[in-house]
Amino acid sequence: MRKPMAQHIFLCGFMGCGKTTVGAEAARLAGTAFLDLDNEIIREAGMPIPEIFARYGEERFREYETGVLKQIASSSTAAIVATGGGALVSARNADICRSGGLVLLLDVPFETCYKRIQGDKNRPNASGRSRKELLALYEARLGSYRAHSDAVVPDNGLEQRAAAVAAYFK
């Protein structure tokens, strides 16, 4: 495992895998800051993510995503960062994250993610998609997540996953 060049930990994984929940708890355990990339994009754009998609499309959302990731990765304030489900599909975004710290994959089975995201109107890439379409998206993204991650955190409960993530700060 390579050592981080900065002190950030970027969590990646499919929508609904627990990046925000695990990240917030891991940051509490590690005594460091927690950032949710989606919330930072909302702050930067001045509007909710579904509105960004509706007004400007996914391409503009991804531009915000890359810009905010650059800001976070270059910050000297240590943080655990929950990325979006599609953030690390982009090799450029993965490189930005890896330049600022470690990338950890929260490896969660599709069915668990699906139960959490089905019907969620705040997830433009999930809203209105069938189970079959979401499974195809999950499978398409999984290779990118694995390729860009420094380590994998298994799906073994919130407390264990948060402790595993926090341990990378010690």
CATH number, domain of 128, equals 3.40.50.300
Q: What dihedral angle (degrees, nearest 10) is formed by the CA atoms of 113, 117, 167, 140? A: 60
Furthest-apart CA pair in the chain: how many Å?
43
Question: CB-hemisphere CA count at 13 Å for 39?
Answer: 8
In the three-class reduction of DSSP (H, G, I as helix; E, B as strand; rest coil), residue 105 is classed as: strand
Residue 107 located in a structural domain? yes
Cα 36 to Cα 53: distance, rounded to the nearest angstrom: 18
Taking residues 77-87, what's their average pLDDT? 94
Sign of CA dihedral 154, 35, 87, 137: positive
Residue 1 located in a structural domain? no
Give the containing element (helix H, strand E) for 127.
none
Sign of CA dihedral 154, 88, 163, 21: negative
Token readout for 166 is 């926090």
Residue 82 located in a structural domain? yes
**pLDDT score recorded for residue 127:** 73
Task: Specify the number of domains making up the chain.
Answer: 1
Residue 16 located in a structural domain? yes
**6 band by pLDDT with thresholds 50, 70 and 90:** very low
Range of the domain at 51: 8-167
Average pLDDT over the chain reads 91
pTM, full prediction: 0.91
Q: Is residue 144 within 8 Å of residue 88, measured between CB atoms?
A: yes
**pLDDT score recorded for residue 128:** 77
Residue 85 located in a structural domain? yes
Residue 3 located in a structural domain? no
